[in-house]
Structure 1
């Protein structure tokens, strides 16, 4: 049977782009089991009190924008912080702990809680987890990357405190703490996807797939998601959805917006587009070319040349598209 553009995209998404549902279920179960085990650490006399109500799932796996392969799962582990005091100083936060918790060896000489020492203490306890293989400080110095022998994915674990001002404090990579709130990203992605009748997540994954082919400079995953969501915040959904037509539009939008600064939707980090001007130019040039190809593919589909359209999409996404 001759494929249509829509069926070609459906096969491509199922075979090459979307995570396998059964694997995603196993990953969620393993994540929850890991947090259950970590919660046991607070029973030790020489470890901080933990509070599961402050745990948070974040990142592309939590937002369901993760494409194949599933290589990492992000989670934040909530520390109780009972009796702690925090305050902002320049571009970071300082945390004072209660007298008992000073004994855990994670404070500096000035009495403030050192986030790197907290990470190291948490890392030292992870050997208690069954199937433990390796735990090491993430290269950004903000998380622990945990490998378990029973799973092909890693866990990136960040210690966090939830504040009375209703935001989270996490390590800033330099021993201090910084503000964040991934709940804003999680909720925004969910709402935007619902607005477009559940189609938006797959669009994001498709663009990430193209981005990962590294035909040009790779756009940071979070920046790419923000650009896409910003565009669809301004669009109206009329009840119909053509994946090829939307790809054409978003390629053009990325080519335009990647040249500009992009504001953090959480209003915390400011500009999140840290790419230099040469990289921005190269990315814009690449996505403009892909937008031209996509426009031709859409035209071929409209006039009934389905195979010609599929051939063009195969040129864009690679030969796997026509398998």
Structure 2
């Protein structure tokens, strides 16, 4: 007699339910931080890094906006003539933007033909644009001395941007150096910065002149910023930019004076210039706080070499408060390291929470 063995199946509802609950618990525990590494990973995803969806949507809306600006320039003679396209600008362009996505900067390139730039005799970082041709595109924005008034350029752009649909409001930025355009469908705004390309004398563009908020112009070049941070990110195993975002989150906390976003990025560049490549985010954050106070207490030149020192308007008292906060963070990180060395991840995560605040995940949360 042949005895056939019956195949085992999970048809029992109680067994299926148990297996389902177990699998869900295993899956859920995968996302729950039981290690410092896991806590940092969850923290970055939940609180710091922009989602792929919002990034793609923002890029598409930026491209759509420039199409509208091009149409305005083509169909309205009073709009400043354009010179090609636009340049990505600011922290969103450098991929150092943190949540929430609240603003996107773009340089709109204007046709500067018929103008000549010169340095102000009273300020080496202020530039003038002399109108040499009455038919120049920018000749319709003169000041009392025959120079292009950057404020007039911005006000004209603002007035015409108000006519574009899908945008609720256009106004001059509080720093008077950009036109801020608010959207009806998304939470972020666009800061539109008019820029005049300046020839380098060799057939290329040496830099760009943008409004200084006082009717004159200052130099910038987002290409250089992009090259610098991209190079650092490559050197540091694609972990430099995410580390900068972590540091910018810490900088934005309200327990101390806030440094300018671009300044904190530049400090990170200085700190990691001669460091070994980054492998772990928590180690990189520790390295930054260990070394940054030294760089914070000396002058910080513009890394592009085009503008004044980034710390020009930061007094020593404010620097000292930030430096003290960094040293406090170093103490918390030391405690976290001691706990990690004895495999006490719960305590280590607690101390990292003291560094980044209540939004940092708690153990097993």
Tell me which of 344, 347, 352 is aligned to 1:308. Answer: 347
Question: RMSD over aligned Cα, in angstroms?
Answer: 1.6
Structure 2 Cα separation of the partners of residues 206 and 46 of structure 1: 44
Partner of 1:17: 48
Any stretches of 5+ residues in structure 2 without a counterpart? 1-28, 201-205
TM-superposed CA distance for 1:102, in Å, is 7.0
Partner of 1:202: 242
5 Å-filtered alignment, 1:216-231, equals 216-231=256-271
1:116-136 alpha-carbon deviations (Å, 9 max, x no partner): 000000101102322121111
SS of equivalent to 2:112: coil
Tell me which of 236, 246, 252 is aligned to 1:212. Answer: 252
SS of equivalent to 1:16: helix
Q: Give yes or no for the alignment of 1:67 onto 2:102.
A: no
The answer to whether the 8 Å contact 1:86/1:94 transfers is yes
SS of equivalent to 2:359: helix
Q: Give yes or no for the alignment of 1:87 onto 2:127.
A: no
Return the index of the structure with the highest Cα Rg. Answer: 2
1:58-101 alpha-carbon deviations (Å, 9 max, x no partner): 11110000110000001110001223222222222221333134
Structure 1 Cα separation of the partners of residues 288 and 107 of structure 2: 31
Structure 2 Cα separation of the partners of residues 193 and 133 of structure 1: 37
For normalisation by structure 1, the TM-score amounts to 0.94
Tell me which of 45, 48, 58 is aligned to 2:80. Answer: 48
For normalisation by structure 2, the TM-score amounts to 0.84
Partner of 2:66: 35
Any stretches of 5+ residues in structure 1 without a counterpart? none
The answer to whether the 8 Å contact 1:39/1:52 transfers is no
Q: Give yes or no for the alignment of 1:318 onto 2:354.
A: no
SS of equivalent to 1:233: coil
Partner of 1:154: 189
Which runs of structure 1 show a deviation greater than 6 angstroms over 4 or more consecutive aligned residues? none
The answer to whether the 8 Å contact 1:244/1:298 transfers is no
Partner of 2:156: 121
